[in-house]
Structure 1
Amino acid sequence: MGLTMKEIVDLSVLEKAKLLTPKAFLEGQTVEWISVIETPVENFVKQNEFVLSTGVGCKEDPRCLEQYARDVIESGASAIGFATGRHIFTVPDTIIEECRRNNIALLEIPWEVRFGDIMQEVLQAISEEKREDQRFVEGIRQDMINCVLNGEGLEEITSLVYEHTSIPVAISDDERVVRSNHHFDSQMIDILNRKKEGNYRSVPFTQTSYLEHHYPIEKYEFEQGECYQLTILSNHKKQGYLLFERIDRPFTWSDMTILEHAVTACALFFVKENAIEMTEIRLKDNFLLDLAKKGAEQDEELREKGRLLGYDLEKPYTCIIGDVQFSKNVDAHIESKDSKVASSSMHSRNYYVQTEIQHAADQIGRERMTTFDDGKVIVFLEADEHSYMETTHQFLDLVERRLNELLAGITVSWGISFHGDGIGVFNESYKEASTALSFGFRQEEAGFRMFFTDTKVNRLLLSISKNKEVTSLVERTLKDLIAYDEKRQADLLHTFMVYNKYNSNVSQTARAMNLHRQSLLHRLRNIERLTGLSLLDADDFFLLELSVRMWMLTREG
């Protein structure tokens, strides 16, 4: 692409010009601009420029003219045209030889041919060629966009880039996993990704500034060559990278513009891919929430919908509901750890929990279905009736170990149920797991695992508590004790619960509560005094334990 010197020499305005260098040079030189430059050259000449000169500043000094030609050549010009007949009568052989050595086209132009006419025709030809280039590149841009819109992918984009530029190119996602490669040196990618040993350095990219405003280019130098990297962005979020290699010619405007369009098409592809992924996630979430909460009858239509989403509803599952509590510094840790995670705090937390649940299920070779609801994680884990407790503990051990390694200060409480009817009873097991979680919070500190089968006594007590006579008895038994706790902050109820937990062992209770033995005995005497019950009498102790447990269950019920 671009206007060549051969096309310029063929213009009518230059029919009287004489070519002093081989014709082969004309095909290889691209012209992007034309100008009239006299000595000194300094930095007035751009790369790929056709330079015209009368030699007026060097007419009596051949060495000055030779230096002028060398300066123009070193500036990256495509061709030189000297007007002969007044200041220069013959172009020196030394200049012709210098142009030959550097593959620069050299023209001798009769004095009567006006530079203004030459510039007008050349600029018009350049302008028309640029319009043609723009139409050509625009067609490639549309082809790339169509690839994405028609369901094709990154392979088609890299193929179009290579077909029209011959530049080896590769595309990776934001985790540097290569998604498409068209003749790009894989060793360079492996070295960049630290999968292979090798030295490289990052250097400024100065070849062209076409893309520097919108798409900064990073240049890497390796022992085996060079490559360049463009970052693929969408809504200021990094989506991936486009890598391209150095080639044996300067990058042209069309090269760089095609690469720019490839970056845009890749961004569209990743946005579309993310949108599809998010839609799938929403469909899965809604499906699982309906399965858990609405108790839809499991017919063939429901099972088929599950299969389309990647779920096998015919397997037996245990339901696990987790309440995840984070310390205040966890969110900051999440943001600094992984910029991929969205800025939403809840989204970030769920991302990590979901990742570790998937990892743990894979480790033990079990199917799992996961969703989130109202700050809680809901997991249906493949299990069987005879060993579901062992499977659940193994699974949760892995989840908690990984989460604690990644996010210090996290606490997870679990409610668990495997419904007795076995396969397909999702709503019942969800309700039972919710009940187990609720009872756990009523009688345990955060960080527990409560199975529904462990809540039999509590469910019985909760049922009994609906009896008015029983409620009245509990209130009379604990009235003074509760009032004393509220007034003095004495924590006597908690003291009794710990004392009961350690089977009335004073020494163990004192150690657990970090109390002196005499302080604990003083509290126990206060409990007896305020309730009128003896902790040494079995019936009194049973009544007090029953009242305390019932009060603990119903106060938050």
Structure 2
Amino acid sequence: MGVRVSDVLDLDVMKEAVVHTGQKDLAHKLIEWISVIEVPVENFVRKHEFVLTTGMGCEEDPALFRSFVEDVIQSGATALTVSTGRYVSNIPRDVLELATTHNFPLIEVPWKTRFSNVIHDVLQTINEQNEQKRQKAENLRQTLTNSVLNGSSLEELMDLLYEATGIPVAISDDEKNIRANCDFDSTVIEALNDEGDILVERLEKPDVPLAEHPLYHHLDQYNVDGKMCYELTIFSNNKKQGYLLFMPEKPAELNWFTMHALEHGLTACALYFLTENAVEMTEIRLKDNFVLQLAKDGTPLDAKMLSKGELLGYDLALPYACLVGDFRVVEEDDPTWDDAQDQPGRSSLHSLNYYVQKEVTHASQQLERKTMSSFDEGEVIIFLEIEENGYQETVNHFLDMVERRLHDQLAHVYFAWGVGLHNQGLQSFYESYHEARTALDIHTEEHGFGERTFFEETKVNRLLMNVASNDSLIKMVQETIEPLIEYDRRRQTDLIHTFMTYQKYKGNVSQTARALNLHRQSLLYRLRNIENLTGLTLVEADDSFLLELSVRLWLLKQFK
């Protein structure tokens, strides 16, 4: 902070002052302090100081006086005022030429001008103007903070900052997408985003006149095709939220007030993003709870629920299929563990929720389908808008998009899905969810992860689940399948899976061998092994049916 030389020269105490050199920059040069210095200068003068001298000690030595003036200039002082009449009668020509060469203001006052009066009036002016600037900065801080609290947009915040500083400003999010722009050069934004062929050079040390300002250590400066751009990172809630960009015409514009204004702007932006995040989290929480209520509470789909859904942006009158997903994370001894370690969100349900929700939103936008989703302790629940005729194709297309993009980010996570559709009655969402959950449970019990099961495809399994409580039937199952179970356990084989694959392909040996990636003779050896262990003949329809029934019941029973 400080006052201009021209402001000091307007004071009554300086009315008899004569400016000999440096006249053209008097309105721009700032004075932050005032002092009286005589020979020698050494390190007693600091930058932006208004120096007063009588020239004492130089009266008999013009060369010493010239050296004294040169030292004052080299110290970074703003101006030198010489009291003439006792020690210095007239300012020598070579001294005036020296000051002119450096465009340095050299001022003469008569001997009768009291330095004590000059010091008093200059310090009073500096203090008054500094207080005005402090108050102006404080008013800007309050205005920006109140604007955020009153719901102003980022564009409105940037307008306030631009109005206060006169410097073009812009706000981007953490992915460098511009959220607000006030007179900022769009070509510079494109270059910073690595768009186009414009060369961008990052300066190691930002060029600003106030390097001692705390904000200096957080500045990044870029040379974009000859244009200087500064950048400050916006943090809130221990997370990088975006960037504050500004482009002064020259570094000198980044004075005390401007740096404080930018600091207040940075704080206001951090508060804005914090508020925005809080609103988003509240909305997500409300939506999560609403979807869970639809799926698990059996709340009737009455006018109240329809109205509540509408407030959250959901149209409950549309037909929806319910998709329920469970996931499995690769363990350390899994062959894919090394790849999984570098993937984000590997130990956090919260992170997984974020990625799933993100891809659900992307897929729904691409397919132009409405979705409602929630994430409940590792269970993903999605209601997807469908057309009832041929809805399976829509569901598969949707899940293909979600899983493909998720796998790129979370290679260690595998999903299994159950799908239900029950579009009639006041509890259609509740019924759809339970159908999907049932389909998923049946699927994972038999096959593990990585596939999808539609509820209408589980009729046989649901029938088996109803009869699986019969003790005599269970005993028969155990007697039939126990030799296979024991053999698989001892030999680390999978005869049960071999048999179910054989049944899937209706006894076609060639298709079964291809599906199991086995040589035909190896498959035949396994099938003979199954017959020997169970005492059943697989080409006999009754024996084949009994063994398949036993395997299915055993698989269902395993997970009860």
Query: Normalized against structure 1, the TM-score is what?
Result: 0.88
Matches within 5 A, 1:68-147: 69=69, 72-73=72-73, 76-96=76-96, 99=99, 104-111=104-111, 115=115, 118-119=118-119, 121-147=121-147
Match of 1:289 among 289, 292, 309: 292
Partner amino acid, structure 1, of 2:387: D
Is the CA contact 1:315–1:423 (under 8 Å) kept in the aligned structure 2? no
Q: In structure 1, which of residues 347, 365, 369 is the aligned counterpart of residue 372 of structure 2?
A: 369
Equivalent runs, 1:47-86 vs 2, <5 Å: 47-55=47-55, 62=62, 65-66=65-66, 69=69, 72-73=72-73, 76-86=76-86
State yes or no: 1:317 paired with 2:320: yes
Deviation at 1:441, TM superposition (A): 0.7
- Matches of 2:38 and 2:206, distance apart in 1: 30
User: How many angstroms does 1:37 deviate by?
Assistant: 5.0
Give CA-to-partner distance per residue, 1:397-432, whole Å, 9 cap, x none: 222232334443443221112225389721111111
Deviation at 1:56, TM superposition (A): 5.2
**For 1:244, which of 246, 249, 274 is the aligned residue?**
246
- The whole-number CA distance in structure 1 between the counterparts of 2:365 and 2:153 is 29
- Structure 1 position 172 matched with structure 2 position 189: no
User: Which residue of structure 2 lines up, in the alignment, with residue 427 of structure 1?
Assistant: 430
Deviations 1:314-356 (A, max 9, x none): 1001111222334445664344xxxxxx897323322222222
Q: Which amino acid aligns with 1:108?
A: E
Q: Which amino acid aligns with 2:136?
A: F
SS in 1 for 2:342: helix
**Would you say 1:278 and 2:287 are equivalent positions?**
no
SS at the partner of 1:384? coil
Partner of 1:323: helix, strand, or coil? Answer: strand
| Consecutive unaligned residues in structure 2, runs of 5 or more | 331-336
The one-character-per-residue Cα deviations of 1:61-118 (angstroms, maximum 9, x if unpaired) are 5466456545644655332112334442211345446656766433224456565664
Q: Secondary structure at the match of 1:209?
A: coil
> Does structure 2 retain, via aligned residues, the 8 Å contact 1:317–1:383?
yes
Identity %: 48
Cα distance, 1:550–1:355 mapped onto 2, change above 3 Å: same
Contact 1:306 1:313 in 2 (8 A): yes
Aligned equivalent of 2:153: 153
1:228-262 C-alpha deviation (Å, 9 max, x unpaired):
11111124421111111123544221111111111
Task: Provide the C-alpha distance between the structure 2 equivalents of 1:490 and 1:161, rounded to a whole number of angstroms.
Answer: 72
Letter in 2 for 1:206: D
Amino acid at match of 1:169: V
Question: How many residues in Structure 1 have an aligned counterpart in Structure 2?
Answer: 551
Partner of 1:416: 419
**Using a 3 Å threshold, how does the CA distance of structure 1 residues 96 and 332 change in structure 2: closer, same or farther?**
farther
- Show the counterpart of 2:333: none
Give the superposition deviation at 1:538.
1.8
Structure 1 residues 206 and 38: CA distance shift in structure 2, 3 A: farther
CA–CA distance in 1 between the matches of 2:493 and 2:224? 72
Distance in 1 (CA, whole Å) between partners of 2:178 and 2:485 is 66
User: Matched residues in 2 for 1:182 and 1:45: separation?
Assistant: 41
Q: Decide whether aligned partners of structure 1 residues 442 and 321 sit closer, same or farther in structure 2, where only a CA change above 3 A counts.
A: same
Task: Select 1:357's aligned residue among 352, 356, 360.
Answer: 360
Aligned residues of 1:225 and 1:246 also touching (Cα < 8 A) = no
1:537 to 533, 537, 540: 540
The answer to whether the aligner puts 1:163 opposite 2:163 as a matched pair is yes
Q: Does 1:399 align with 2:402?
A: yes
CA distance in structure 1 between the aligned counterparts of 2:95 and 2:339, rounded to whole angstroms: 71
Q: Which residue of 2 aligns with 1:339?
A: none
Structure 1: state its 5+ residue gaps.
Answer: 336-341
Higher mean C-alpha deviation, range 270-279 or range 65-74:
65-74
Displacement of 1:457: 0.4
Alignment match, 2:557: 554
1:266 is matched with: 269
> Distance in 2 between the 1:375 and 1:408 partners?
17
CA distance in 2 between partners of 1:210 and 1:54 (Å): 32
Deviates more, 1:347-356 or 1:12-21: 12-21
Report the TM-score when normalising by structure 2. Answer: 0.88
Deviates most, 450-459 or 166-175: 166-175
